[in-house]
């Protein structure tokens, strides 16, 4: 049942994980000529503006799991909502049929 699946909610966070590669500016650093430094960020929107939160490397797997959990919850809620809308439509149809049969 969908509601039972929704009850098994774990920690979650909305947003997307992104990897940003950049140079640090030190001319003697390896990033000046080769591999850039990588940083992990959680990107999300607040009032149509994109915000970012730095995610330390040791937290990346956990935050990615939180993002996946948020997406799972959103899908479940959309599925439940669609089913509830269908319940409303069926209710209206049966009421109309009952009225026309009188």
**The pLDDT of residue 57 is above 90:** yes
- CA 59 – CA 50 distance, rounded (Å): 21
Report yes or no: 9 and 73 within 8 Å, Cβ to Cβ.
yes
- CA 9 – CA 5 distance, rounded (Å): 8
CB atoms within 10 A of CB 63: 19
**The pLDDT of residue 102 is above 70:** no
Q: In this predicted structure, what is the pLDDT of residue 94?
A: 87
Task: Dump pLDDT digits (tens) for 76-88.
Answer: 999 999 999 999 9
Report yes or no: 33 and 10 within 8 Å, Cβ to Cβ.
no
């Amino acid at each position: 049942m969908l509601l039972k699946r929704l009850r098994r909610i774990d920690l979650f966070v909305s947003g997307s994980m992104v990897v940003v590669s950049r140079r640090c500016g030190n001319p003697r650093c390896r990033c000046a000529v080769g591999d850039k430094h990588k940083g992990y960020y959680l990107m999300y929107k607040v009032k149509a503006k994109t915000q970012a939160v730095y995610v330390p490397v040791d937290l990346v797997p956990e935050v990615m799991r939180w993002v996946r959990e948020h997406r799972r919850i959103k899908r479940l809620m959309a599925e439940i909502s669609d089913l509830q809308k269908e319940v409303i439509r069926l209710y209206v149809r049966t009421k109309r049929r009952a009225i026309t049969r009188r």
